Amino acid sequence: MRNNKEKKHSTVIITDKYSHETKVFNINQKHIANFRLYKRVLLGLACGLILLLTGLLSFIVREHFQKVKLNTELAALKNDLQDAASKEALKNNKIQQMWNKLNLADSTLQKIEKYLDDRNVAVFSSKGNNNNVGGKYYPADKVNFNLIQQRTNEITNILETLQSVPLGLPHEGNFTSDFGVRGNPMSNSGFEFHPGLDISGNTGEPLYATANGTVVFADVKGGYGKCVIIKHIRGYETLYGHLSKILVRKGDKIQTGTIIGLLGSTGRSTGPHVHYEVILNNEKQNPIEFLSVK
Ligand SMILES: [Zn+2]
């Protein structure tokens, strides 16, 4: 190294000992003086770069894990949504099933109404809304809980009506004489109108009321012997004749199945049996009509 003509520069000569070639560099002395400063600056830059790279790396790593976490949360959310959707579908399915049952019940209800209507039994019903027997069809998307309540009330009403209309028999036994014109059983000559059904049995066997009602007669009644008459709703009455013993009193409120007396042969009778009548609006009906529900 030697000083150049201009004091501000130093010359650096690099020689190759084999080829004896030289290279000459003129370096501003200011740079040589600042060499330590440059070294520090370079070192500083290097440290800065390392810090920057480290920061960048940690940012990338953090971002990656953040993304993984978000993806996991997103997948869980999707699962939740699918769960909710399937639960909703299940709920809708249950509503549909319930609605199908309601439609079936409604159709059955209207058949019962028609059956009772055919027998002049008035039932408060939905018939005013729709005359098609066989039921209305309610689409499931029009679920109306007031309507369900209405149908439930109607079913309750029908049940009460059914319990108040004579159905079935007061006693199980053979039918020894049907409703209608028959030969005179007492004299074996001529004909008479038999206004009820005779059911044979043994004296002392229980006789059951065939519907809810109020006892309006409980005493001896001519040829009927010991007799009970029960008044039901809608103009119905039932009569039980030839009892050996009466077990109810006039004015008693009784339920279907109540034992009203014991079978016997009192009055105009040829042997132990119950004479059973069903009366609608003061007209004698054939009790056979009330033995089954079509
Ligand atoms: Zn009779």
**Rounded to the nearest whole angstrom, what is the distance from the C-alpha of residue 242 to the centroid of ligand 1?**
9
Centre of ligand 1 from the C-alpha of residue 194, in Å: 6
Tell me what pLDDT residue 95 has: 82
Return the pLDDT at 129: 47
Specify the 3-state DSSP secondary structure of 156: helix
**Which ranges in the chain belong to alpha helices (H)?**
29-33, 35-118, 145-164
Nearest to 232 by CA among 208, 216, 247, 248: 216
- Let me know: does 213 contact 247? Beta carbons within 8 Å: no
* Residue-level pLDDT at 141: 59
Total Cβ atoms within 10 A of residue 247:
15
Kindly report, residue by residue over 126-165, the tens digit of the pLDDT.
444 444 444 556 666 566 677 777 778 888 888 888 888 8
Could you give the C-alpha distances from 104 to 107, 162, 257, 260, in angstroms and in order? 5, 19, 30, 38
CA of 275 to the centre of ligand 1 (A): 4
Residue 181: beta bridge partners?
193
Write down the pLDDT at residue 128: 46
In the reported structure, the alpha carbon of residue 223 is separated from the centroid of ligand 1 by a whole-number distance in angstroms of 10
What's the gap in Å between 274 CA and the centre of ligand 1? 7
Structure tokens at 277: 């009548």
pLDDT digits (tens, 9 = 90+) for 243-258: 999 999 999 999 999 9
Phi and psi (nearest 5°) for 180? 125, -170
DSSP symbols for 110-132 = HHHHHHHHHTT-----STTT---
Q: Which CATH class is domain 175-290?
A: mainly beta
Alpha carbon of 102 to ligand 1 centroid (Å): 44
Task: Give the Å distance between the CA of 197 and the centre of ligand 1.
Answer: 6
Output the CA 120–ligand 1 centroid distance in Å.
25
- Give the tokens for residue 10: 């130093």
pLDDT the model gives residue 264: 97
Residues of the chain short of pLDDT 50, as ranges, are: 1-2, 4, 126-134
Q: What is the pLDDT of residues 53-70, one digit of tens each?
A: 999 999 999 999 999 999
Q: What local confidence, expressed as pLDDT, does residue 131 receive?
A: 42
Count of alpha carbons within 13 angstroms of residue 178, beta-carbon side: 6
